[in-house]
């Protein structure tokens, strides 16, 4: 199961997520989403746990917990909705 984790401190790294979630079971991956222009954390990330029961327990226990001084939100990740393509340019012309 993929878990969406938000409201992360800019100083949290993937190893921190791995450490917190691995207390509840096997973590196959943990990633922090980085802004490609600033190279800084966007304040959210994803954790993948193969066992759904372990992932649900981790979500229940860690949602609302504090990591690096910030109260995080953890819930099951939902597939990204496809929207209109973005060009990266302002299309006012």
CA distance 86 to 89: 8
Report whether 64 contacts 55 (CB < 8 A). no
**What tokens appear for 18 in the block?**
């791995």
Note down pLDDT in tens along the chain; length 93 residues: 999 999 999 999 999 999 999 999 999 999 999 999 999 999 999 999 999 999 999 999 999 999 999 999 999 999 877 766 665 555 555
What pLDDT does 80 receive? 77
What pLDDT does 81 receive? 76
For the chain, list the domains and their CATH numbers: 2-72 (3.30.70.330)
Nearest alpha-carbon partner for 21 in 52, 54, 44: 54
What pLDDT does 79 receive? 84
């Amino acid at each position: 199961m993929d878990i969406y984790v938000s409201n992360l401190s800019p100083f949290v790294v993937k190893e921190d997520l791995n450490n917190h979630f691995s207390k509840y079971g096997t973590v196959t991956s943990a990633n922090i989403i980085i802004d490609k222009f600033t190279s800084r954390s966007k304040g959210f990330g994803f954790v993948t746990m193969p066992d759904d029961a372990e992932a649900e327990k981790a979500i229940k226990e860690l949602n609302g917990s504090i990591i690096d001084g910030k109260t995080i939100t953890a819930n099951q990740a939902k597939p990204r909705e496809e929207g209109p393509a973005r060009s990266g340019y302002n299309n006012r012309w």
